[in-house]
C-alpha cells in the first residue's frame, strides 16, 4: 500500500492518478475527504499531518509514502512511520534547501530543511524532490488574463525554470515504486530559464493573443497578496523573487534521468491548462 499525502494538491493528485493507473494499491490522506472528487480505486482516509493522532490509522499497512511537507510535522510523521513499518518516503521538498549552506534564507527553505533532516536520521529510506518554481503558480494570473491582456505584478525580471507538476509526480512515482532511489536528492526544473515577463509572453502565444507583464512596485503587490497568504510565506516569496533577478543557474536534468524523457516546457504546461486562463 502506498499513502499519498497532499492528495488534492497540484502534485499529489497527479501522483495519486498515476499510481492507480499503474495498478498500485493507493491510500489518499485528506483533511476533508468529502470536499473532493476522488479517482476510482483510491482508499481515502481522513487525517492531518499536523495531527499526530490521525497518522497511525492512515499508515496502517503502508509500505511507501509520498510526503507533502507540513511545517513542524517531521518528527511526528517519522515516529508514526516507524511504528507502522513504512519502508520508504518520498518528500516533496524545495529547491531552496542547499546542502552546502547551514544558513536558510527563507521560512520555506527552513521548514523543508528541518523535515529533510528529520528523515535523514529516521532510519527510513528517503528520497527528496526539490522542484524549482511550479509552472502552476501562473494560475494566480488567471483572473487578470480573463479580464484583459496585461498581467500586473512584482519583479518582471524574476527568473525561474518553471516545472510542470506532472513531471514532479512522474519522478515521485518512480521513487515510490522502483528500487535505486533511496538516499537520492533530485533537483527538478523545467527545460528553460524564464522571467515573469517571458512567461507572460509565452502564455499569450499559447493562447493566441498578446499578453504582457507590467511591473508594479513590490510593496504594492505585497499588500494585495497579504489577505491571502501568511506573512512568513509572503516574505519567502518576495525574497526569492528579488534574489532571482539576473540569475540563471544550470538547468537540471534529473527529470529526464529518472523518467527517461525530457521535462515538459512552460508552453506545454500552458496548453494543458489553457481553459483556466
Q: How many CA atoms lie within 13 A of 197 on its CB side?
A: 9
Confidence of residue 42 (pLDDT cuts 50, 70, 90): confident
In a domain, residue 57? The reply is yes
Confidence of residue 178 (pLDDT cuts 50, 70, 90): very high
In a domain, residue 105? The reply is yes
Confidence of residue 101 (pLDDT cuts 50, 70, 90): low
Mean confidence (pLDDT) of the chain: 91
- Tell me, what CATH number does 184's domain have? 3.40.50.720
Q: How many CA atoms lie within 13 A of 84 on its CB side?
A: 26
Is 112 within 8 Å of 97 (Cβ atoms)? yes
In a domain, residue 86? The reply is yes
Structural domain boundaries, residue 64: 2-135+165-189+250-263
- pLDDT over threshold 90, residue 155: yes
- Cβ partners under 8 Å of residue 241, min gap 6: 154, 155, 158, 218
In a domain, residue 65? The reply is yes
Q: What is the maximum alpha-carbon separation in the chain?
A: 56
pLDDT digits (tens, 9 = 90+) for 181-218: 999 999 999 999 999 999 999 999 999 999 999 999 98
In a domain, residue 50? The reply is yes
In a domain, residue 236? The reply is no
- pLDDT over threshold 70, residue 143: yes
Confidence of residue 32 (pLDDT cuts 50, 70, 90): confident
In a domain, residue 177? The reply is yes
Provide the whole-model pTM: 0.92
Q: Locate 34 and state its grid cell.
A: 468529502
Is 58 within 8 Å of 73 (Cβ atoms)? no
User: How many domains is the chain partitioned into structurally?
Assistant: 1
DSSP type of residue 15 = H
CA 8, 11, 13 angle in degrees (round to 5)? 40
Amino acid at each position: 500500500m502506498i499513502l499519498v499525502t497532499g492528495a488534492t494538491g497540484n502534485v499529489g493528485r497527479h501522483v495519486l492518478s498515476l499510481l492507480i493507473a499503474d495498478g498500485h494499491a493507493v491510500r489518499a490522506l485528506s483533511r476533508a475527504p468529502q470536499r473532493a472528487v476522488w479517482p476510482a480505486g483510491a482508499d481515502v482516509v481522513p487525517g492531518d499531518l499536523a495531527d499526530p493522532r490521525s497518522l497511525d490509522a492512515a499508515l496502517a499497512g503502508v509500505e511507501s509514502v509520498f510526503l507533502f511537507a507540513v511545517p513542524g510535522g517531521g518528527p511526528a510523521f517519522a515516529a508514526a512511520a516507524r511504528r507502522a513499518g513504512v519502508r520508504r518516503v518520498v518528500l516533496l521538498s524545495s529547491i531552496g534547501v542547499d546542502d552546502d549552506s547551514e544558513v536558510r534564507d527563507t521560512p520555506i527553505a527552513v521548514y523543508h530543511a528541518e523535515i529533510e533532516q528529520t528523515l535523514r536520521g529516521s532510519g527510513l529510506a528517503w528520497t527528496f524532490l526539490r522542484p524549482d518554481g511550479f509552472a502552476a503558480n501562473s494560475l494566480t494570473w488567471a483572473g487578470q488574463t480573463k479580464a484583459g491582456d496585461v498581467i500586473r505584478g512584482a519583479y518582471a525580471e524574476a527568473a525561474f525554470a518553471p516545472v510542470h507538476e506532472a513531471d514532479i509526480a512522474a519522478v515521485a512515482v518512480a521513487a515510490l515504486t522502483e528500487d535505486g532511489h533511496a538516499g537520492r536528492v533530485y533537483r527538478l526544473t523545467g527545460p528553460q530559464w524564464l522571467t515573469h515577463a517571458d512567461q507572460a509572453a509565452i502564455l499569450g502565444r499559447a493562447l493566441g493573443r498578446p499578453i504582457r507583464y507590467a511591473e508594479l512596485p513590490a510593496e504594492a503587490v505585497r499588500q494585495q497578496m497579504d489577505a491571502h497568504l501568511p506573512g512568513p510565506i509572503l516574505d519567502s516569496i518576495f525574497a526569492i523573487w528579488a534574489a532571482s533577478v539576473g540569475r540563471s543557474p544550470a538547468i537540471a536534468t534529473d527529470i529526464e534521468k529518472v523518467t527517461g524523457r525530457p521535462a515538459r516546457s512552460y508552453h506545454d504546461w500552458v496548453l494543458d491548462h489553457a481553459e483556466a486562463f
